[in-house]
Structure 1
Amino acid sequence: MARRRTLSCALAALLAGAPALAADDEELALAYGDSATVSIATGNKQSLRRAPAVATVFTAEDIRASGATDLTELLQRVPGLHVSRTYYINEPRFQLRGVQSEFSQQVLILIDGVRRQSILLGSPEELWVSMPLDQVARVEVIRGPGSALYGADALAGVVAITTWRAGEQPGTQLGLQAGAFDTQAASLRHSGRSGDWSWLAWLRAGRTDGQAETIHADAQTALDGVFGTQASRAPGAMSTRHRDLDLQLRLGWQDWQAQASLKRRHGIGSGPGLAQALSDRDWADTDFAVLALDWQRSGWLPDWDAQLHASVTHTTVDSLYQLFPPGAFGGLYPEGMLGGPGRNSRVHDLEGSLLYAGWAQHRLRLLAGWRRSDLYATREVKNFNFQVLPGVGSFPVPLGSLVDVSTSGPYVTPQQRDLHYLALQDEWRLAQDWTLTAGLRHDRYSDFGHTTNPRLALVWDARHDLTVKALHGRAFRAPSFAELHNINNPVNLGNPDAQPERMATTELAADWQAHRSLQLRLNLFRYRMHDILRLVPHADPSSGATTQNLGTQDGHGFEAEARWQPGPGWRVDASWSQQISRDRLTGLRSADAPRRMAKLALEARLNGDWACSLQARHIAGRARAAGDARPALADYTLVDLGLHWRRSALQGWQASLLLNNLADADAREPSPAPGSIPYDLPLPRRHALLELGYRF
């Protein structure tokens, strides 16, 4: 039955899917930049080939041609970037060059310039679940440090997402969706212009039961062996259901753009279980709301361009998790072991930048900003408490019923953090074929102090068809509120004296236009990450662990890319990435992250309005964590196939048939050591999706 649901088809109208005429594509390229330009590297639109960073760009047409429906699917195409899954509600886990953590704190996510980091965990937007691509116009990714421009958390890379602005793609697009994994959705988008005014409204609502692959054993399976019970729900399916609502309103007037957006995910299942024990009674709700105002003017003063950004983001999280099922711990919990943490958070951002081009051969950018992060209304209910037995460990003691412990024993208390920062960047044209980009940013935090991070990038046009780059930068990750202030979760403690993680990276890159139809890129990198934030067991390990800056990770490797366009309407993108990273504390290879990745994407215009896409990725060489005695993780290869019908008109229909995991591979991502879920976390098996779109 689960397989039949997996193989069911979807009927959909894609909000951003209708193809456009060449003139429309040219207009979008002028507004957002084409695939050969990038803005994320310096904050200015410039040639991707000459940008002082190693970057990947996806335009609106790239997104349509890929067949991806969610951001995580699109990011799988980036060389050196792997999207794994975590035990924490099956969240995406971003791994770059062997740098990774359970909550992906080392990768910064920006949407329309607004940071999407959780201030509690430091992760990209807590309870991320999914981000549909309906409203996404462009995605840019830099691999390597970005703190000299973007500050905290841009340690291993930055992902910048740009949504459609007011007035772009004028008209109305309507859609319905139903099918795979019992997925249903409805969507509507309208955009228009009148004089100096422009507007856009987008709404998408849906639900899904999520993938139905089986977990054969879990943490409760092991407890059943100890207590002689049969409480575990394994073998059973992960709970990956959720209901979603996405809303965005944008208004433009002359140099101003205002937006209000809401991302709501309700009834979220806990994946394999928050305590790695299966449950179908969990739920979590999150609302992420944004109000933002942007102003940008070229020629504000002679030789000066200016930008202002102000935003307020508000997050609400509520939940009730069944950590262990009814009958756990020898029947002490007839209703199951329950815990329900919740919290509100608010972040205010104000940033201004000036670009000065009046000094010959120089382009100077001055950036200044302020951010206030508030964690408030922290709350928790649960029907247990932990009793620590020295030398034995912690044991859950039943409370008899759900008890509000928000004041008596919460996992964290309200916190506030202020940040002030200042950055300076100079793009200096040393000679006709040489450009030196130098940057420096200073961040001062109210809770843990200050940090300064520089960058240097030398770009040389060695020949008309060859560009060489030498790059060096330093970056940091700010400790999250949980790492600083956790007091009972259940016995893992924060450390108010924790300092930022730090990283220094050196890269050498070459971009060669070997033929008018063939482009080759090679990037060599080496990094050292130190002061890594980890939970370190106490002298008596049974009493828990505390966050400490402990350990250093060294890594090196390469990313090779090729783009071949053998004829009109044909394109092949291929990459091979390899990294070796080691934890100097243990001497072992870094756990979980792939050592080798090969990726292939083929896009072909077959006949008239018909096209196909083929994407494949091979993930290999993942090591187990220290102390994990399970067999080595198996390599896997996934292949996705798409068949697309697109009319070459601004209005009308389009259709796509997508077959994901075409070979029905049994692919798995690692569960946490030492293996409470012994057979790891399965990825979805073969499934199909049929999409229809209409634009009018």
Structure 2
Amino acid sequence: MQAISRCMKMGRVILALSLILTAMPLLAAEKYDPMSDLSLGELLNLEKFMVTATKHLMPARKAPAIAAVITADEIRNMGAKDINDILRNIPGIGISRPGTLPFDARLEVRGIKTPFSEKVLFLVDGHRTNNAYTGSWLYPLGNLMVENIKRVEIIRGPGSALYGANAFIAVVNVITKSAEDIDGQQVSVGISSFNTQHYTALFSHTSDDFQMSGHLDYFDTDGAASLIEEDALTGKFGSLAPSNTLEFVEKLDFGFKVKYQNFSFNGRGIINEYGPYIGTGRALNDETVLKFNQWLANLSYAKNLTNKLDIKVNFYTDLYDQDTYIEIFPEGFTGKNDKGLIGNPILKNRTLGSEVTTNYVLGNHLLTTGIGYEEVKEYDIGGVNNLANPFAEPTPMTEKFVKAVTRKVGALYLQDMWTITQNDSLTLGIRHDDYGDFGGTTNPRIGYVHEFKNNSTLKFLYGSAFRAPTFNELYIRNNPVVVGNAALKPEKINTYEASLEYPFLRHYTLRLSYFHNDIEDIIRVGTKPAIDKPAPWINVDGKTQVDGAEAELLFKFS
């Protein structure tokens, strides 16, 4: 019955595009080939390529996914200052800012938005960056250096069949520049108002089989210090309003890439320190300091064993370090001689992992297999607070606010890219992830792509994905508002998509897509069992359905 239901839903997707498809003969009858008078070089410059959809470099319009690619030239021309400026230009993606913390952005993808954007998988050169504590990547990756970006690849839709957890409603992959993309050394210096200074540097070196490149980005500002007339405590004791926000930011982003013959290494460090802007309690304060650091490293070996078989072995590590000293309310907020309300959660997440991938050409099939294992450890949990008694100075926490745990994950996946004809391709994939704390989950995908003679493409897609419960949702404790639930199940989604891309009159491209989502086991905060008891995280019973359409008209000036 489940298979019949899925077929019926795919039928609805096909029906939704039936009116568009009936117009295809008329469109094709124009007799005008938009690429007919272009040279091969011009065609290559117009074509955008991506690896995220299949882990193989291919034209984005032929990829089995609703995909978009933003190039370095486009990033520069749009004046983007961070990754959120780039993503807001993608149809189906919105950016909102709650306004309580600096750089606190929330991604809305196809109508779905959560506080930590944990349903979006964020990759840097294919390296997972979502932390295990909240599932988020926004701190500190939202402030990533843009001058070192070669392109950003975005998939709207599920990606768990290749990438596992968090690839729920979208996958964002930031591809950074290598030695061949950097012309020697590049340095820039910027100084502006609010004591702002910004220094960037890119360098590269190439000789024989050796390539090396690197980047450095340092940014420091006092911020605009905007005047706030009223805050959450206005008219009450302890209010600092009217006063100015604290918007200071200090960021250091540095890293390097090295490639020698079949070996390559990619390392990066991002260090951020922010002011509170207004603050988590929507009350102005003068003591909050937010520190978020992340360190990424990959060591890979890739070799062609035969002309039809290649192998890649990858070892990686990730360290996420959070130290947030938060003054929720300032001194005197009770109207008496209190010390303010202070919370200072400190923790670290460390990931160690490895993955082996093979690619084998068998006739018209490109078979990709992968096996991986990783261990995620949450440790060094501590900090100070006075949440129980705001009249006392903050003291070290006597009990950890979240359990110190180690998560072990094994994964196995298989993908078949089948070139049926010159104009038709079928991609089949499946991945199984096994988690030591909540069990296993299996996620398949199907993607059919047809290319018409006038370079139009038609896609029919199906995929499932999951979002693993975070350590915060499973193990948080000693919190008066919410408590963890070790029995949580992963969130699940089944997505059905159809898309048509049609280039016409040389400079125009029309893109239309339809999607249907079935979501189960959504994780949210439940109901308090009693007034003095915290509410548990729960899985919501039943299904949530989302239907939507996206339309995009592109014009290329040159």
Q: Aligned AA for 1:289?
A: W
TM-score by length of 1: 0.71
Q: Aligned AA for 2:353?
A: D
- Is the 2:144–2:253 Cα contact (8 Å) retained in structure 1? no
1:501 aligns with 491
TM-score by length of 2: 0.88
- Is the 1:182–1:209 Cα contact (8 Å) retained in structure 2? yes
Deviates more, 1:373-382 or 1:268-277: 268-277
2:468 aligns with 478
Of 256, 269, 276, which aligns to 2:275?
269
Q: Aligned AA for 2:144?
A: M
C-alpha distance 280-324 of structure 1, shift in aligned 2 (>3 A): same
C-alpha distance 212-129 of structure 1, shift in aligned 2 (>3 A): farther
- Is the 2:340–2:390 Cα contact (8 Å) retained in structure 1? no
Q: Greater relative contact order: 1 or 2 (C-alpha under 8 angstroms, separation 6 or more)?
A: 1
1:201 aligns with 214
- Is the 1:90–1:240 Cα contact (8 Å) retained in structure 2? no
1:294 aligns with 300
CA displacement, residues 374-404 of structure 1 (integer Å, 9 cap, x when unaligned): 110101201231xxxxxxxxxxx33611210
Matched, 1:55 2:67: yes
1:622 aligns with none
- Is the 1:185–1:206 Cα contact (8 Å) retained in structure 2? yes
| Structure 2 Cα separation of the partners of residues 43 and 424 of structure 1 | 12
Of 560, 585, 601, which aligns to 2:551?
560
Shift of 1:463: 3.9
C-alpha distance 479-537 of structure 1, shift in aligned 2 (>3 A): same
| Structure 1 Cα separation of the partners of residues 69 and 133 of structure 2 | 30
- Is the 2:148–2:176 Cα contact (8 Å) retained in structure 1? yes
Secondary structure at 2:86's aligned position in 1? helix
Secondary structure at 2:144's aligned position in 1? coil
1:310 aligns with 315
Alignment of 1:153-232 (within 5 A): 153-221=166-234, 224=235, 229-232=236-239
- Is the 2:96–2:106 Cα contact (8 Å) retained in structure 1? yes
Shift of 1:518: 1.4
Of 259, 265, 269, which aligns to 1:252?
259
Secondary structure at 1:520's aligned position in 2? strand
Secondary structure at 2:158's aligned position in 1? coil
- Is the 1:528–1:553 Cα contact (8 Å) retained in structure 2? yes
1:365 aligns with 368
| Structure 1 Cα separation of the partners of residues 455 and 151 of structure 2 | 26
| Structure 1 Cα separation of the partners of residues 233 and 101 of structure 2 | 16
Secondary structure at 1:330's aligned position in 2? coil
Matched, 1:379 2:385: no
Q: Aligned AA for 2:448?
A: L
Shift of 1:204: 1.7
C-alpha distance 159-94 of structure 1, shift in aligned 2 (>3 A): same
Q: Aligned AA for 2:333?
A: A
Matched, 1:404 2:396: yes
Q: Aligned AA for 2:302?
A: Q
C-alpha distance 483-514 of structure 1, shift in aligned 2 (>3 A): same
Matched, 1:241 2:245: no
- Is the 2:47–2:59 Cα contact (8 Å) retained in structure 1? no
1:532 aligns with 522
Q: Aligned AA for 2:272?
A: R
1:74 aligns with 86
1:144 aligns with 157
Secondary structure at 1:327's aligned position in 2? coil
Gaps of 5+ in 2: 1-40
Alignment of 1:637-656 (within 5 A): none
Secondary structure at 2:85's aligned position in 1? helix
Secondary structure at 2:473's aligned position in 1? helix
| Structure 2 Cα separation of the partners of residues 291 and 230 of structure 1 | 49
Secondary structure at 2:317's aligned position in 1? strand
1:430 aligns with 420
| Structure 2 Cα separation of the partners of residues 477 and 145 of structure 1 | 10
Alignment of 1:621-640 (within 5 A): none
2:13 aligns with none
| Structure 1 Cα separation of the partners of residues 318 and 446 of structure 2 | 33
| Structure 2 Cα separation of the partners of residues 509 and 154 of structure 1 | 20
| Structure 1 Cα separation of the partners of residues 46 and 124 of structure 2 | 18
Shift of 1:430: 2.5
Q: Give the superposed CA RMSD.
A: 2.1
- Is the 1:35–1:59 Cα contact (8 Å) retained in structure 2? no
Secondary structure at 2:246's aligned position in 1? coil
1:349 aligns with 353
- Is the 2:311–2:357 Cα contact (8 Å) retained in structure 1? yes
| Structure 1 Cα separation of the partners of residues 444 and 491 of structure 2 | 15
Gaps of 5+ in 1: 1-25, 386-396, 572-696
- Is the 1:91–1:127 Cα contact (8 Å) retained in structure 2? no
| Structure 1 Cα separation of the partners of residues 547 and 330 of structure 2 | 44
Shift of 1:515: 2.3
Deviates more, 1:555-564 or 1:288-297: 288-297
2:437 aligns with 447
Secondary structure at 1:328's aligned position in 2? coil
Q: Aligned AA for 2:364?
A: Q
2:137 aligns with 124
Shift of 1:237: 4.1
1:641 aligns with none
| Structure 1 Cα separation of the partners of residues 549 and 285 of structure 2 | 42
Q: Aligned AA for 1:294?
A: S
Matched, 1:42 2:54: yes
Q: Aligned AA for 1:49?
A: R
Of 327, 330, 348, which aligns to 1:325?
330
Shift of 1:341: 1.0
Shift of 1:88: 4.8
| Structure 1 Cα separation of the partners of residues 79 and 239 of structure 2 | 38
- Is the 2:105–2:138 Cα contact (8 Å) retained in structure 1? no
C-alpha distance 182-149 of structure 1, shift in aligned 2 (>3 A): same
Shift of 1:75: 1.0
Of 497, 511, 516, which aligns to 2:506?
516
- Is the 2:514–2:548 Cα contact (8 Å) retained in structure 1? yes
- Identity over aligned pairs, percent: 31
- Is the 2:84–2:142 Cα contact (8 Å) retained in structure 1? no
- Is the 1:116–1:125 Cα contact (8 Å) retained in structure 2? no
Secondary structure at 1:277's aligned position in 2? coil
1:100 aligns with 113
1:610 aligns with none
Secondary structure at 2:75's aligned position in 1? helix
| Structure 1 Cα separation of the partners of residues 139 and 536 of structure 2 | 22
| Structure 2 Cα separation of the partners of residues 105 and 447 of structure 1 | 19
| Structure 2 Cα separation of the partners of residues 58 and 128 of structure 1 | 18
Q: Aligned AA for 2:59?
A: S
- Is the 1:204–1:245 Cα contact (8 Å) retained in structure 2? yes
CA displacement, residues 472-505 of structure 1 (integer Å, 9 cap, x when unaligned): 1111100100000000234310100011111111
Secondary structure at 1:82's aligned position in 2? strand
Deviates more, 1:456-465 or 1:307-316: 456-465
Secondary structure at 2:162's aligned position in 1? helix
Secondary structure at 1:63's aligned position in 2? helix
- Is the 2:198–2:219 Cα contact (8 Å) retained in structure 1? yes
C-alpha distance 55-273 of structure 1, shift in aligned 2 (>3 A): same
1:115 aligns with 128
* Equivalenced residues, count: 516
Shift of 1:38: 1.8
Flag the structure with higher strand content. Answer: 1
Shift of 1:125: 4.8
